[in-house]
Amino acid sequence: MKGPLRIPAEWERHECCWLAFPYSAEEWQSNLEAAQCSIAALCRTIAEAGKEPVRLLVKDDEIADAARKRIGASSDIDYVTADYGDCWVRDTLPLLGHTPGGALGALGFRFNGWGRKFDIPFDAEVGRWLIEHLQVKRFSSDLILEGGALEFDGRGTLITTESCALNDNRNPGLDRAGLEDAVSSLVEMERLIWLERGLSHDHTDGHVDMIARFVAPDTVMCTRAGTEGPNTEVTRSIEASLRETGLTVLTLPSPGAVFASEGAPLPATYCNFYIANEAVILPLYGVPEDREAHDALAAAFPSRAVVGLPARDLLWGGGAFHCVTQPQPAAP
């Protein structure tokens, strides 16, 4: 069944990329400055190396000044004042795609703080704000789901995880068939590939953008199981499941066990990269596997530069570069 909205693959051309500048000391505690520096570096890289205009949400003039100070002089970055919660716009902003006539449309799921874990003011409202700001047609769903829970190839194949999409903290009582019916009534979908679960220490309950990403038509990239680490068994299972789908499967190395400065384990992965117009931005963790991950992505995207940026400080808050970006597709 094909719904009315086509969500493009991320490697298709973008009009711009939406991000949000973190500002809450309550949410980030002593890590706020580091998180702001990470977002600033990402904005610069998307705009400059990625040749992609950036629209950065800022809470007010004071936050806008702080963002400008962190980012510095950089072209193609617009500061847009809005009420928003935190920087995880992959989940709080709507997914943007094209209607059958080629106009921009927006898919808005219900949002409940990643299964009622985090109640941050304006996280549930900023999506509707963007739809009104862009003046586009809204396709709404009663599903409680986040953008990071669905991966699209732009040609009707999607990937998700049971541990998130069917979790009782989001959609109690929903089964695979029910979710497939609901999603296919909204977006172009030929098939939905189900993976059982995501990474350990991932408070999203296993978002797919941490474990498997489309990099070309019929081609998916996932983490290759390492010899040891907190996610060895789950990454081995994910790769095996993907190889049964008929897709071409490419792999990235595992960064191994990665910890925050205070010793907390982080859901580290190289899969949370962002595909900009002319670059792929890769999360780095300061480990030897960073180089292998860079080379693997460079082979998968020969026409794009691969730019690595440190990701530990951002990952402390729960995600990396894909989690904090929401692309607005260019007109078809």
Catalytic center residues: 323
Distance CA 237, CA 235 (A): 5
Residue written as tokens 């939406």?
18
Q: How far is CA 80 from the centre of its chain?
A: 20
What is the rounded CA–CA span in Å between residue 245 and residue 219? 11
Interhelix angle 32-48/61-71, rounded to 10 degrees, is 70
Residues in a beta bridge with 259? 265
Query: Distance (Å, rounded) from C-alpha 13 to C-alpha 156?
Result: 18
CA 302 to centroid of chain Cα atoms = 22
CA separation for the pair 73, 91 (Å, rounded): 29
At 293, list the tokens.
Answer: 């991950």
Distance CA 22, CA 107 (A): 24
- Sorted by sequence, the CB contacts under 8 Å of residue 2 that are 6+ apart come out as 156, 184, 188, 189, 190
